[in-house]
Chains A and B, each alone.
Chain A
Amino acid sequence: MKILLFSFLLAAFLKSGWSQSIDYQELFGDDWKKAMTFEKENRIWIEPLLVKNHISYPLAISIIFPELVRYSALRDKMEITLLKALYVNLGEDYANFSIGQFQMKPSFAEMIREEAPSVLGHRSGIAFKNVSDFDDIKDFRKSIVTDLEEPKSQINYLIAFIKICQKNFSTCWKDEPSEIKFLATAYNFGFDKKDVEIENMIDKKFFNTKLIKTENYSYADVSIFWYKQYISISNPVR
């Protein structure tokens, strides 16, 4: 019996240790540092917006942190002028690509705009215009691109995303790290998927910061790495 218990504990330890064995800060080097700088410099305006919407700051930042790293790594190589023009004129079927600091796709923003009214009240201070508010679909798409290029409007999409997920999937999470893992995966993989599909994707490795793909990492794992770092700095062990 003891042996069985020991084996079980060892397996659990190895499993948890395995997924957290990569030092992402060291791995992503300068790009991690730049992402950290962005987080520190922008906390002053991001945190009050999250507090107003009853969202935990480390939870929200954990979700987007891997994208901040990716943005830092790729920003000089991005050539999205043509992609933007193609999306505005021809739609997401022709060009669907990640934009801005939080690396959101126009298709993601379109879904958020559609579903946000059901989760955001007047008190949130967030209101999105929907496709029916525009005479021309191209103006609607233009407004999406404009929003996604500006972190101050991107944060509204993040808040709406968290609210939508909390409404649709909240039964899945036992604590904040589990919620982060789930939400980070949904952010990266798609929140229009079923909870089982998202759960199954949590440990899958699809995240990288290179144009030519080399090794991939688990998006949720990177999120949790930042979260644990943040918590250990905020609540140092005495």
Chain B
Amino acid sequence: MKKSFLFLLAICIFIGNPVNGQVGKLLNKVSKSVTNDAVDKSETGSKTTKQQPEPKCACEQPDQIFDLGGTLKLMYSEINISIKDDGSILVKDIITGNFYIVKDGVTQGPIKAGDPRLEGFDNVNNSDASKATTSWANNEYITKSGEKFLIKFGGKNYGPYGEIKEFKVTKSKDKFAAVVVENVPVSEADGKKMEEAIKNAKTDQERMDLSMKYAQEMQQKMAQGGGPMSLVPKLVTNIPGASYDQLKSVGGTLNSNVKYDDILFTTYDKVIDLSNNVLLTLKSDAAGAKDLFINTNNTKYAYYNYGTLTFSDGTKLAELFNVRWVKVNGQAYLAYMYYSPKKNAIMQCKIQF
């Protein structure tokens, strides 16, 4: 009885869940270790790894820009690869620590840290940097004369202007356009002084008197500086036929990147030339696009957003980056880059646009 009971118990234990669970665990362990081995193999021996397909944006004859197989490594911050507006890429030798600049497939270097050629690689698309340029301190075409600004372009002088609101130069650096205000009734320094004085006034009457005094001074300055029209923003450019008029304009900001070697105004949903002609009206999906490109005939446009280049006919190219204009044999092309798993390299394609 006792023996048979023990035997029965042993059988129950053997076929029961706890033992099965243990076997299961054991099998899991074995299968896991096998799969891990397989994974490890595929990871270490890159030749046995299943190759990812080329992205759909790959073209038939791409140019190889940068081979990632060597000791040179791309420089990237947490969210950005160091790429300049002209398409050059910053890479670093992981052994020596020297930098190299790769442009159009040609590697320049070694470059030591602190070299001026490295400037501009660390502030890609920084809106704060663009805000900071309103003082125009580092602009090679703008100088300050007293409280006013002067533009010197192509050997000619323009100005002086009380304020330069916008300033753009084409890629070929032969055309420029600026939105300026001839006279500013109150300079930034004066404004601060007035604000301070009004803030420190002890009575309402004192505040009122100061306001009246400053209003009078501003009126006088306006009269001396050419009247109220001198306070209206106007366009200054060397582009022939430009007739921008702030009062008739639908607004917009100057853009030297939307069309190859040209400067146009872009609004939320329109592209306008400097003579106030609407060249293109964007569909709702493209409205407000930051990186917009229009072709030479003003018949098509494309916009880039988060890795995808979308054309006005609805065509989409995905998994690409660094879209910009290039000129080959006098013809404008829209160039873009992508990563090729097949070559382990960054490649570039060009579309005639």
CA distance A90 to B46 in the complex (A): 10
> What chain A residues lie within 8 Å of B319 (beta carbons)?
81, 85
Which stretch (A131-139, A177-185, A223-231) binds chain B? A131-139
**B249 interface residue per 8 A CB criterion:** no
- Contact residue range for chain B? 35 or more
> What chain A residues lie within 8 Å of B81 (beta carbons)?
79, 82-83
User: Quick one: closest B residue to A131, CB to CB?
Assistant: B39
- Contact residue range for chain A? 20 to 34
- A81-B307 contact, Cβ under 8 Å, with A211-B125, A211-B126, A212-B129: yes
Q: Is there an interface contact between B39 and A79, defined as CB atoms closer than 8 Å? A: no
**A2 interface residue per 8 A CB criterion:** no
**A143 interface residue per 8 A CB criterion:** no
> What chain A residues lie within 8 Å of B320 (beta carbons)?
81
Q: Is there an interface contact between A82 and B321, defined as CB atoms closer than 8 Å? A: yes
- A138-B80 contact, Cβ under 8 Å, with A85-B319, A211-B124: no
User: Quick one: closest B residue to A132, CB to CB?
Assistant: B35
> What chain A residues lie within 8 Å of B238 (beta carbons)?
none
Q: Is there an interface contact between A81 and B341, defined as CB atoms closer than 8 Å? A: no
Q: Is there an interface contact between A95 and B76, defined as CB atoms closer than 8 Å? A: yes
Q: Is there an interface contact between B123 and A212, defined as CB atoms closer than 8 Å? A: yes
> What chain B residues lie within 8 Å of A136 (beta carbons)?
42, 49-50
- A88-B52 contact, Cβ under 8 Å, with A77-B79, A81-B306, A81-B307: yes
**A89 interface residue per 8 A CB criterion:** yes
CA distance A19 to B32 in the complex (A): 48
- A77-B127 contact, Cβ under 8 Å, with A82-B339, A95-B76, A137-B39: yes
Chain B nearest CB: distance from A11 CB in Å? 35
Chain A nearest CB: distance from B107 CB in Å? 18
CA distance A76 to B307 in the complex (A): 12
User: Quick one: closest A residue to B80, CB to CB?
Assistant: A79
**B279 interface residue per 8 A CB criterion:** no
- A76-B290 contact, Cβ under 8 Å, with A85-B339, A97-B79, A138-B52: yes
Q: Is there an interface contact between B36 and A132, defined as CB atoms closer than 8 Å? A: yes
**B222 interface residue per 8 A CB criterion:** no
**A78 interface residue per 8 A CB criterion:** yes
- A97-B76 contact, Cβ under 8 Å, with A85-B339, A89-B341, A136-B42: yes
Q: Is there an interface contact between A77 and B125, defined as CB atoms closer than 8 Å? A: yes
Q: Is there an interface contact between A78 and B306, defined as CB atoms closer than 8 Å? A: yes
**A50 interface residue per 8 A CB criterion:** no
Within 8 A of A (CB), among B300-353: 306-307, 319-322, 337-339, 341, 344, 346
Within 8 A of A (CB), among B13-50: 31-32, 35-36, 38-39, 42-43, 49-50
**A210 interface residue per 8 A CB criterion:** yes
> What chain B residues lie within 8 Å of A211 (beta carbons)?
77, 79-80, 123-126
> What chain A residues lie within 8 Å of B125 (beta carbons)?
76-77, 79, 211
**A86 interface residue per 8 A CB criterion:** yes
Q: Is there an interface contact between A137 and B290, defined as CB atoms closer than 8 Å? A: no
Q: Is there an interface contact between B50 and A212, defined as CB atoms closer than 8 Å? A: no
User: Quick one: closest B residue to A73, CB to CB?
Assistant: B127
**B68 interface residue per 8 A CB criterion:** yes
Partner of A212, one of B35, B43, B128: B128
**B74 interface residue per 8 A CB criterion:** yes
Chain A nearest CB: distance from B138 CB in Å? 15
**A127 interface residue per 8 A CB criterion:** no
CA distance A149 to B301 in the complex (A): 28
> What chain B residues lie within 8 Å of A81 (beta carbons)?
306-307, 319-321, 338
> What chain B residues lie within 8 Å of A74 (beta carbons)?
79
**A62 interface residue per 8 A CB criterion:** no
> What chain B residues lie within 8 Å of A138 (beta carbons)?
49-50, 52
Partner of A89, one of B290, B337, B339: B339
User: Quick one: closest B residue to A210, CB to CB?
Assistant: B128
**B245 interface residue per 8 A CB criterion:** no
**A98 interface residue per 8 A CB criterion:** yes
Chain A nearest CB: distance from B304 CB in Å? 10
Chain A nearest CB: distance from B237 CB in Å? 28
CA distance A85 to B36 in the complex (A): 23
**B78 interface residue per 8 A CB criterion:** yes
Q: Is there an interface contact between B79 and A132, defined as CB atoms closer than 8 Å? A: no
User: Would you mind naming 22 contact pairs between A and B with Cβ atoms under 8 Å apart?
Assistant: A76-B290, A77-B124, A80-B307, A81-B319, A82-B74, A82-B81, A83-B81, A84-B307, A85-B55, A86-B339, A90-B68, A91-B43, A134-B39, A135-B38, A137-B43, A138-B49, A138-B50, A210-B126, A211-B77, A211-B123, A211-B124, A212-B123
**Supplied contacts A77-B127, A81-B319, A138-B49, 5 more A-B pairs, CB within 8 Å:** A79-B125, A82-B81, A137-B39, A137-B42, A137-B43
